[in-house]
Amino acid sequence: MLDALRAALGPAGCLTGADVPASAATDASRTGHTLPVALLRPASVEQVSQALALCHAQGLAVVPQGGMTGLAGGAQPLGDEVALSLDRFLGVEAIDADALTMTVRAGTVLQVAQEAAAAAGLHFPVDLGARGSARIGGIIATNAGGLRVIRDGMTRDNLLGLEVVLADGTVLGNLSGMVKNNTGYDLRHLFAGSEGTLGVITRAVFRLRPAPASQATVLAALPDFPAVLRLLARARALPGLSAFEAMWQDYFDFSAGLLGARPFTTSPPVALLMEADDTPAVMDLLEAALEDGTVTDALIAQSLADARAFWDIREGLAIDDALPGLINLDVSIPMTQLDAYASACRTGVLARFPGAHVSFFGHVADSNLHVALALPQGSGADADHTAEAIAYDLVRDFGGSVSAEHGIGTLKRAWLGHTRSPSEIAAMTAIKAALDPQGRMNPGKVLPPRAQIPD
């Protein structure tokens, strides 16, 4: 079987044994421990089709892998699968500056697509902290959100065309990039967020946007969460509002402390990072907010370095190293309930695990809250699962979603039913069975085992 794959893809296209890099075992959740039987690296759509057809004929399961920056374990092999990476199928194929579209190969790193758009004087509408490693295929397969959803939408909102290869090698898709195309079921939206379970995404057409004007970046201190909502209501009127990121005190103090930053004289109950296009309008908004106490202190970046320093606190990359057992939860909660959820979650986790690290930040305007959770050493074998159960049971009680952006993968599979009804899960399972009847695409991810599907 491997000989046949090697013959189809060439020696560089089928790595086995010691040639398979350790990075193929785990994504950024650092929870994967199993290397794939082989790492397939097709260099064209035809090779993807050939590889999948061969695997299908031999009953071999396939795990698509992108930049391995996912946080849900979706790209991690679980057993005897081969992994398939598009790291040799790269590049921007075309930019249409009139239609404002980009046709791009799925192996392209996000930052490369962003830079190509910028070089054409345009703006690529998806951005996130993992931009230097995440690949377009992974971005689409997880329907990534990120830092600019308030202005630009989620990945699926910017997807005008998609090409995929199904488990049996069938190439499917439409790269015409038409904005208006009401000709039956829209297959793009099946694959956006499918996490490798329906097929391999090979190429896409993205909507581009005009390059944004220069931005005002603000770091503000707020007295409480109601003030965040008051400020958001006013900020929505700002031209080009593109970020509205809240950091609860526990997160802000921890992240700023790791960076040696102390932007405010006293630690604020909530810190807010806001970006918009029109600096005078932002200044007017802040002045009024400072006057009526909605904001207690505010800094406006005077340079790109200042803006980067504000974002460093928000992105909190240093936290990953400071808390080796870090679990990143990514949930949606009805907006007005975000603070109540944070309080209940903090109380619930600390009651069960005194001394745990629990801190909160989020894209407030998208109702998206991230929970940074690290349990004390020696908490026990099932401790992570127990802590997650506390957090996710509360998400269900608050009527939220167990995954706002990162997807279900393996890590949230047990909790899918907290957010999706039995009939929704049954419909998803029927779609999976129609496109991948043998269950060869990324088995063990997203959907519960068939035995647990309600009739």
Kindly identify the residues of this chain, within the stretch 75-104, that bind ligand FAD according to CB under 6 A: 75, 86
Question: What is the phi/psi pair of residue 138, to 5°?
Answer: -70, -40
84 by DSSP, 3-state: which?
strand
Q: Does residue number 48 form part of the binding site for ligand FAD (CB under 6 A)? A: no
Please, where are the H alpha helices in 323-382? 338-352
Instruction: Name the minimum Å distance from CB 70 to ligand FAD.
Output: 3
Token reading at 371: 């929970």
Q: Does residue number 41 form part of the binding site for ligand FAD (CB under 6 A)? A: no
Q: What are the angstrom distances between the C-alpha of 273 and each of 184, 232, 246, 307?
A: 42, 11, 6, 10
**Of positions 104, 134, 286, 394, contacts ligand FAD by CB under 6 A:** 134
Cα–chain center distance at 186: 22
Q: Does residue number 145 form part of the binding site for ligand FAD (CB under 6 A)? A: yes
For residues 13 to 32, the per-residue mask of contacts with ligand FAD, x marking binding by CB under 6 A and - elsewhere, is: --------------xx----
Q: Does residue number 200 form part of the binding site for ligand FAD (CB under 6 A)? A: yes
Kindly identify the residues of this chain, within the stretch 106-125, that bind ligand FAD according to CB under 6 A: 106
Q: Does residue number 129 form part of the binding site for ligand FAD (CB under 6 A)? A: yes
Instruction: Name the minimum Å distance from CB 436 to ligand FAD.
Output: 12
Q: Does residue number 144 form part of the binding site for ligand FAD (CB under 6 A)? A: yes
Q: Give the length of the chain.
A: 455
Kindly identify the residues of this chain, within the stretch 386-425, that bind ligand FAD according to CB under 6 A: 405-406, 409
Long-range contacts formed by 426-434: CB under 8 A, 24+ apart: 426/453, 426/454, 426/455, 429/453, 431/190, 431/198, 432/197, 432/198
Angle at 37 between CA 35 and CA 42, to 5 degrees: 105
331 by DSSP, 3-state: which?
strand
Binding segment for ligand FAD (CB under 6 A), chosen from 136-144, 205-213, 218-226, 333-341, is 136-144
Count of residues near ligand FAD by CB under 6 A: 38
Binding segment for ligand FAD (CB under 6 A), chosen from 133-141, 226-234, 265-273, 290-298, is 133-141
Binding segment for ligand FAD (CB under 6 A), chosen from 57-65, 166-174, 213-221, 340-348, is 57-65
Q: Does residue number 193 form part of the binding site for ligand FAD (CB under 6 A)? A: no
| Termini Cα distance of the chain | 37
